[in-house]
């Protein structure tokens, strides 16, 4: 009988060496970036965080910080980097409509600048934060990655072009596009201009939730699951495009879920946002990724923050803050 000797010490050493591979994250100071960087640092990854830090810095002190616009990054920044997770972007449809030129220059052109740096220094993997909203309006019950894209806004259109730019680098590195649904929940860099976060805020502070229409369907994902998704794909030696969402609910259903946790009235107004689509995340599930947190978990996490005494500030509302401090100007 042949006995295979298991060298536990060497295995631990190999794991530690993997964990110490340099991971560069753009948008590190953002809503998702802050939670992702801090989570990876706790797991002993070697993290470099790139951001303008216009909203402040809530990162663990162990994160190596580069304060910069992605378009101004020296391409030697990517030397010895194993993986790039690209989160940096103008953060929502209304913000991109305010300055379309900035959207395209910081989006696809900014991405190209980063990819050239990655190519120069043989970065092995690139994970891009795309968006489920690039599907546009879909009547299909299951919106999979194979369906056509019908982006409706500059934000969606620029994300689609970014994916096409990434396609041209597939022979240079592993490329993973993640298309998240509407992200919700608490973050040290809190945002209150996202659907569920807005509803929770309105319910707690205004006692009334204002719903545009209500019948539109939204795929939703808890921010904790988005962090888990990036960590999952960081370890996977694959390429591809993957939807990431946990629940598909109508806007009115979501409002009612909020009121069960934070008592409030619901006021329905004329629908100003026609986007409606259901996202199917079966492809990600088939390779082992499953969401663990719900919409209710996100609402409860937000409620806890509000109860602790959230100070009212424009910093939680991206457009207000950026315009106020002249980080972005109207067209």
Name the residue range of residue 173's domain.
13-191+220-246+276-293
CA-CA-CA-CA dihedral for 91, 96, 98, 99, to nearest 10: 110
- Interval 199-258: pLDDT, tens: 999 999 999 999 999 999 999 999 999 999 999 999 999 999 999 999 999 999 999 999
Contacts of 219 (CB under 8 A, 6+ apart): 132, 143, 181, 182, 243, 245, 247, 248, 277, 278, 279
Q: Is residue 309 part of a domain?
A: no
- Interval 289-316: pLDDT, tens: 999 999 999 999 999 999 999 988 999 9
CATH number of the structural domain spanning residue 70:
3.40.50.720
Distance, CA of 238 to chain centre = 20
Distance, CA of 119 to chain centre = 24
Q: Is residue 241 part of a domain?
A: yes
Q: Is residue 93 part of a domain?
A: yes
Q: Is residue 265 part of a domain?
A: no
The pTM score is: 0.92
pLDDT at 50 over 70: yes
Q: Is residue 114 part of a domain?
A: yes
Identify the band that residue 3 occupies on the pLDDT scale cut at 50, 70 and 90.
Answer: very low
Q: Give the pLDDT mean for 155-161.
A: 93
Q: Is residue 254 part of a domain?
A: no
Q: Which of 44, 10, 48 is nearest to 29 (CA)?
A: 48
The token pair that represents 51 in the structure block: 């951001």
Q: What is the spatial distance between Cα 281 and Cα 249, in angstroms, rounded to a whole number?
A: 14
pLDDT at 4 over 60: no
Q: How many domains does the chain have?
A: 1
- Interval 250-281: pLDDT, tens: 999 999 999 999 999 999 998 777 778 889 99
Distance, CA of 139 to chain centre = 25
Range of weakest confidence among 95-99, 109-113, 128-132, 171-175: 95-99
């Amino acid at each position: 009988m042949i006995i295979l000797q298991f060298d536990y010490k060497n295995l631990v050493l190999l794991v530690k060496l993997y964990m110490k591979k340099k991971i560069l994250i753009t948008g590190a100071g953002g809503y998702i970036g802050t939670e992702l960087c801090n989570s990876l640092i706790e797991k002993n990854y070697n993290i470099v965080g790139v951001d303008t830090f216009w909203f402040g810095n809530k990162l663990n002190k162990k994160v190596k910080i580069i304060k910069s616009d992605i378009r101004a990054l020296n391409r030697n920044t990517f030397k010895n980097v194993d993986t790039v997770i690209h989160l940096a972007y103008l953060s929502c449809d209304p913000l991109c409509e305010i300055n379309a030129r900035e959207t395209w220059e910081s989006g696809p052109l900014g991405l190209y600048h980063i990819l050239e740096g990655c190519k120069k220094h043989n970065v092995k993997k690139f994970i891009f934060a795309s968006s489920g909203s690039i599907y546009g309006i879909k009547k299909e019950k299951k919106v999979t990655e194979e369906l056509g894209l019908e982006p409706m806004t500059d934000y969606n259109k620029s994300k689609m072009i970014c994916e096409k730019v990434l396609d041209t680098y597939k022979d240079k590195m592993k490329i993973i596009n993640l298309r998240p649904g509407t992200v919700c929940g608490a973050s040290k860099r809190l945002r209150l201009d996202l659907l569920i976060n807005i509803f929770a805020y309105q319910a707690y502070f205004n006692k009334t939730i204002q719903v545009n229409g209500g019948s539109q369907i939204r795929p939703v994902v808890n921010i904790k699951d988005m962090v888990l998704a990036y960590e999952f794909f960081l370890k996977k030696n694959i390429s591809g495009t993957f939807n990431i969402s946990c629940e598909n609910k109508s806007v009115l259903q979501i409002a009612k879920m909020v009121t069960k946790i934070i008592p409030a009235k619901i006021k329905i107004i004329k629908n100003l946002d026609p986007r409606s689509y259901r996202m199917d995340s079966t492809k990600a599930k088939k390779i082992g990724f499953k969401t663990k947190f719900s919409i209710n978990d996100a609402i409860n996490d937000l409620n806890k923050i509000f109860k602790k005494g959230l100070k009212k500030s424009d910093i939680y509302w991206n457009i207000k803050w950026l315009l106020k401090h002249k980080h972005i100007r109207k067209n």
